[in-house]
Amino acid sequence: MSQRPSPFAPYVVPDLRGLAQLGVPDGAWFARLAGSQLRGHAVAWLRRVGERVPGADGPLRRLVAALEHRLVPEDEVAAGPAGDAEFAWRRIAGVDPFAVVRPATLDEIPAPLRLSDAVLLPLVGRTSAPGAGAGTDELAARVAAGDIYLVDRRELAWRTPADLQPGRFVAATAVLLCHAPELDSRHSLVPLAIAAPRGSAGAPPEVFTPHVGAAWRAAKRMVEVADVHAAELTVHLARAHMMTVPFAVALRRSLPPQHPLVRILGPHLRFDPFLATMAFHQGVAGRTGALVRSLAGAPRWSQDVARTLHDRLSFRDQQLERDLVRRRMADAPIDYPWRDDGRLLHAAIAHLVAELVDDAYASDAALARDPHLRAFVDDVIDRGGIRGLLAGTRLQTRDELVEIATQVLFVAGPLHALAHYGTARRLRHGAAEPAWLPGNPLAPGTAGPDARTTAAQVQRVLGTDIRGDRLGDFTGTALAEHPASAPALAAFARELIAIEAEIQRRNHARPCPAPDLLPSRIPNGITV
Amino acid sequence: MRHAWTNWLGNHQAHCAAIVAPTSTEQLVEILDDPRRRGLPVRVLGGGHSWSPLVPTDGVLLSTAGLTRIRGVDRDRARITVETGATIGQLVEVATRNGLSVRSPSMYLGLTVGGLVATGSHGTGREVATFGDEVVGFELVAADGTVHQVDAPGSELWRAVITNLGVLGVVTAVTLQCEPLYNVHESHARVDVADVAALLPAVLAEYEFVSLFWHPMSRQATFKLGNRSALPAETVVGRIEPTLRDRANGWLGRLLPHVATRVPGLAAIVGDAIDAGLGSGGRVVSEPYFSHYQQSYPKVISSEFAIPIDAAPPAWSWLSQRLGQYAAAGVRPVDLVVHARFGRASAALIASSSGRASCHLEVLSFAGNRQRELFAGEFQATMQDRFAGRPHWGKDIFDPWQATRGYGEDLERFLAVRHELDPDQRLLNPFLRDEVFGLGRRLRPVIVATEQPANDDGGRGAANDAGATLRRVA
């Protein structure tokens, strides 16, 4: 395996020469980008003006609000500090659906969160039985029943203040949730406790329960901000961009343009190298990158968080069902949009890919004989550094190729859309949803970011809130011009329409809508 | 796009989907349709003067600012029907013009009728409970758009509505029982703070209207006392429009919070100035003049507990001694005033004075007093643990999780009525749902018909005339 040229590889694309090979988007894409940048600046300016306009509902304030409304359509999902039900829902249906696990034993729960019976019972609507105290029988019983859920953000732990940018704060948090449908709750999951540090670097986490009033609110705020960081660094960068770039590069480097895999994967990865290169130089490199300015971490720390996870990830283990099983979420008796809506999308993509692969390779033997495909796989593994791509040592069967290609499309489409647009949708609320905090909110007197900071946050997220195309729309691609693909594409389009209706139906019944996996909001691939 | 809202003090904000201000009940019913379809929560916004986060929501803020009409005055029965967005100032002006006195009004005229009813707010007086206890009829629009017209007190729904926290629906109008306009002989007494506890029983027996003020840096407290008088008033009938002195107080009120916490000793001067502002007493004044002596609010934070009136002397002794200990240590968590008012039992299910004659003990600090929080938790714990106190819903509540302690079965009855009117919990915000009522951690309610238990309603006659009551059975 070749040595990586950069501590942040494979984000960097070292072997490409010239823009043509990078897959530069067309003029329409740049026009949309320019439009979104203008819109971001305009909304940020309106936000700053709005802050200075006196009167909560005066005519000037209404004018500013109306102008902003023209630029940013109203969101169906609420912003701001949420109640406990909404807080629990966000942990499951938020922008990082990978953090939640169902522990099988008490040992899998961080020690501070192993709540005693005396603490736990009142949190689930029961009075403490006589003698209930320091024991953890109730928690153990609920863990055994599969009712306990843990959202652990330990990857955000920082060691020295230099890990963070001056005046910015984020912390590793852990949240314990309980499935308790017998409670008078709007969501069957109720939060039990949050472990969060009260102090600065190296401070041990303290446990906060809903009984502690203002501290509970502050701890929830810390969790929300940690969510944004985890979504950006571990989902958006590590699981989406860093996972797909090696495929996009190998597609250009190791396959001839007429190769069937180029036809299948191409529409989904066409802008990927260009965007990854641009994102690295303008996003995560140095102190001026947009992503760095959006988050609390110092550039090196942020890169380390993303890289550490990426290095640990196995491609196969991240397959939707395997990942759900690993986290014991495959059959969790809760509404879990990543699993429930994701399965619909994953199945539809798998159907499409299976048809296309069958069209490309008449048999497994034909596939095994394809030297270009072998070179492509070697490129992804050896030069791209993707771990766990294959079940064995060689790609031998069409089924395995279908699984790999399905996962690439699923990551480039739904997963990236959830991370990018989901985070943007949330952060565009500004002050109500800050991306970072000026200090630990558990310390008395710590205020939120100022108006200028949150306006800049809105500007950044709106400035990249564009979609290059739409899932299932292959207009102008080689796939659309390949006659044998037409039935599969038509069937895929029909499936997406049905999925759209089904998710809309589910959203009506959910505590809050989960709109980010609606097919109409997902591009074919990473287009921004 | 979200709409930003900030309350009067600036300590609570909301970024909500919409702020709407209907001007009629019909319009309100139409407006409620949209959040119902979109599954958005709705909170009612009155004047935004609460210190506790009753209002903030990320859904729809439904302002009563457009509901300000006086719907009718019945001089014969001394009743006024008023929409809930009207201010106490508007109400008192109409009442005075018609020869009526409003019962148990707030001293500050800028608060709204709906806000006072929602929070169980009160004035002072031996014969009055909360402002809401004077409601004899109301119009309530439930979350589903159903309009409930109730024209007699006493039902379970009435008992819930007269301190409703805005969680039952939108109370759009109320009919208030007033009384013929009367005059008050006002007296003031300055006494040593150490003697207050001993004097209280006699003072309460002697005077119908009792208020007590003490600046914690002063050794003396001031009783503002009053009894009805048949003599003509020496003052103008009402003091509804701010006088120059009121305006000056308002300006000072805006200025002082910025300097009072920075300039040692200034807070004491402010306290004395407030005492001086009460006047010297010893004359007959009209009731509105007596009741509404405050025309503007400085930037202060208030916390208040209603304790049984018999507990007032020991509670006062504890409070004065404890604040004295703080002062001796150089800590002044209460740097403006300690204020006590007295009233009879409320018939409301969850008013702080429900079921018992009460002393409303209030501590006020300038906003920005960082020492305030040192005492806030102790104040709440002591008031609740030692004196069976219940917090005023509109004032700052340090530990909301404990706020519903002391209501017993009446809280369950209130929640049962609430559940009937709003089963989808759309009229709650996180503060009320999670921190006050803890609805996310209660076993699901089961509603059964049951008899209403006896309740000391202070003679108000809270007999249930609405048929079977609702009871929550876990």
CA atoms within 13 A on the CB side of B15: 20
User: How far does the CA of residue B431 sit from the closest CA of chain A (Å)?
Assistant: 7
Buried b (16+ CB within 10 A) or exposed e, B402-440: bbbebbeebbbbbbbbbbbbbeebbbbbbbbbbbbbbbb
Collect all residues of chain A within an 8 Å Cβ-Cβ radius of residue B441.
122-125, 183-185, 190, 210
Contact B58 A82 (CB under 8 A): yes
Contact A182 B444 (CB under 8 A): yes
Please name the amino acid found at residue B232.
P
User: How far does the CA of residue B155 sit from the closest CA of chain A (Å)?
Assistant: 26
Collect all residues of chain A within an 8 Å Cβ-Cβ radius of residue B62.
none
Contact A68 B1 (CB under 8 A): yes
Q: Which of A81, A183, A210 sits opposite B444 (nearest CB)?
A: A183
Q: Which of A184, A213, A432 sits opposite B444 (nearest CB)?
A: A184
Interface of A with B in 469-508 (CB under 8 A): 508
Contact A79 B2 (CB under 8 A): yes
Contact B1 A83 (CB under 8 A): no
Sign of the dihedral through C-alpha A161, A164, A169, A173: negative
The region of weakest confidence among A77-86, A228-237, B179-188, B387-396 is A77-86
Task: Using DSSP, state whether B307 is helix, strand or coil.
Answer: strand
Nearest CA in chain B to A432: B15
What gap in Å lies between CA A175 and CA A156, rounded to an integer?
14
H-type helices in B191-286, by residue range?
Answer: 196-206, 244-260, 266-277
Sign of the dihedral through C-alpha B196, B201, B206, B211: positive
Question: In DSSP terms, which residues pair with B401 in a beta bridge?
Answer: none
Instruction: For residue A378, give both structure tokens.
Output: 């070697």
Per-residue pLDDT of chain A (528 residues; tens, 9 = 90+): 444 444 444 444 444 555 446 677 888 888 988 998 898 899 888 888 877 776 555 677 778 878 887 887 666 666 655 789 889 999 999 899 999 999 999 999 999 999 999 999 999 988 766 666 778 899 999 999 999 999 999 889 888 888 999 989 999 999 999 999 999 888 899 999 999 998 765 678 999 999 887 889 899 999 999 999 999 999 998 999 889 989 998 998 899 999 999 999 999 998 888 887 777 766 666 666 777 788 899 888 888 898 889 888 999 999 999 999 999 999 999 999 999 999 999 999 999 999 999 999 999 999 999 999 999 999 999 988 899 999 998 999 999 999 999 999 999 999 999 999 999 888 888 777 888 899 898 887 677 788 788 888 888 888 888 888 899 999 989 999 999 999 999 999 999 999 999 999 999 888 888 999 999 999 998 888
Distance of CA A310 to the CA centre of its chain: 14
Taking the Cβ of residue B47 and every Cβ of chain A, the question of whether any pair is shorter than 8 Å is answered with no
Q: Which of A78, A123, A190 sits opposite B59 (nearest CB)?
A: A78
Check residue B472 and give its pLDDT. Answer: 37
Contact A65 B441 (CB under 8 A): no
CA-angle at A127, arms to A125 and A130, nearest 5°:
155
Check residue A509 and give its pLDDT. Answer: 85
Contact B3 A123 (CB under 8 A): no
Collect all residues of chain B within an 8 Å Cβ-Cβ radius of residue A56.
4-6, 19, 48
Nearest CA-CA partner of B300 in B248, B246, B362: B362
Model ipTM value: 0.76
Interface of B with A in 353-412 (CB under 8 A): 370, 373, 398-401
Check residue B133 and give its pLDDT. Answer: 98
Q: Which residue has the higher pLDDT, B243 or B30?
A: B30
Q: Which residue has the higher pLDDT, B54 or A203?
A: B54
Collect all residues of chain A within an 8 Å Cβ-Cβ radius of residue B429.
83
Taking the Cβ of residue B420 and every Cβ of chain A, the question of whether any pair is shorter than 8 Å is answered with no
User: How far does the CA of residue A275 sit from the closest CA of chain B (Å)?
Assistant: 29
What gap in Å lies between CA A344 and CA A338, rounded to an integer?
10
Nearest CA-CA partner of A466 in A12, A2, A20, A35: A35
Would the pLDDT of B211 be above 80?
Answer: yes
User: How far does the CA of residue B429 sit from the closest CA of chain A (Å)?
Assistant: 7
Taking the Cβ of residue B248 and every Cβ of chain A, the question of whether any pair is shorter than 8 Å is answered with no
Residue B446: exposure state from Cβ atoms within 10 A (0-12, 13-18, ≥19)? exposed
Taking the Cβ of residue B4 and every Cβ of chain A, the question of whether any pair is shorter than 8 Å is answered with yes
Nearest CA in chain A to B398: A213
Taking the Cβ of residue B37 and every Cβ of chain A, the question of whether any pair is shorter than 8 Å is answered with no
Nearest CA in chain B to A425: B1
Nearest CA in chain B to A510: B39
Instruction: For residue A365, give both structure tokens.
Output: 């033997």
User: How far does the CA of residue A518 sit from the closest CA of chain B (Å)?
Assistant: 17
Contact A79 B401 (CB under 8 A): no
Question: In DSSP terms, which residues pair with B232 in a beta bridge?
Answer: none
Q: Do B464 and B204 meet the contact criterion of CB atoms below 8 Å apart? A: no
Q: Do B403 and B436 meet the contact criterion of CB atoms below 8 Å apart? A: yes
Contact B441 A124 (CB under 8 A): yes
Check residue A350 and give its pLDDT. Answer: 98
Sign of the dihedral through C-alpha A479, A483, A489, A494: positive
- Residue B399: CB atoms within 10 A of its CB come to 18
Nearest CA-CA partner of A455 in A95, A42, A77, A36: A42
Q: B252 pLDDT band (50/70/90 cuts)?
A: low
Taking the Cβ of residue A86 and every Cβ of chain B, the question of whether any pair is shorter than 8 Å is answered with yes
Q: Which of B59, B440, B444 sits opposite A84 (nearest CB)?
A: B440
Q: Which residue has the tokens 């558990």?
A: A442
Task: Using DSSP, state whether A430 is helix, strand or coil.
Answer: helix
User: How far does the CA of residue A205 sit from the closest CA of chain B (Å)?
Assistant: 23
Q: Do B45 and B61 meet the contact criterion of CB atoms below 8 Å apart? A: yes
- Residue B247: CB atoms within 10 A of its CB come to 12
What is the interface size between A and B, counted as CB pairs within 8 Å? 99
H-type helices in A179-241, by residue range?
Answer: 214-230
pTM for this entry? 0.84
Check residue A384 and give its pLDDT. Answer: 87
Q: Do B71 and B90 meet the contact criterion of CB atoms below 8 Å apart? A: no
Q: Which residue has the tokens 């809050």?
A: A512
Nearest CA-CA partner of B102 in B224, B121, B119, B118: B121
Collect all residues of chain A within an 8 Å Cβ-Cβ radius of residue B65.
57
User: How far does the CA of residue B404 sit from the closest CA of chain A (Å)?
Assistant: 13
Task: Read off φ and ψ for residue A38, nearest 5 degrees.
Answer: -60, -45
Q: Which residue has the higher pLDDT, A464 or B74?
A: B74
Collect all residues of chain B within an 8 Å Cβ-Cβ radius of residue A190.
440-441
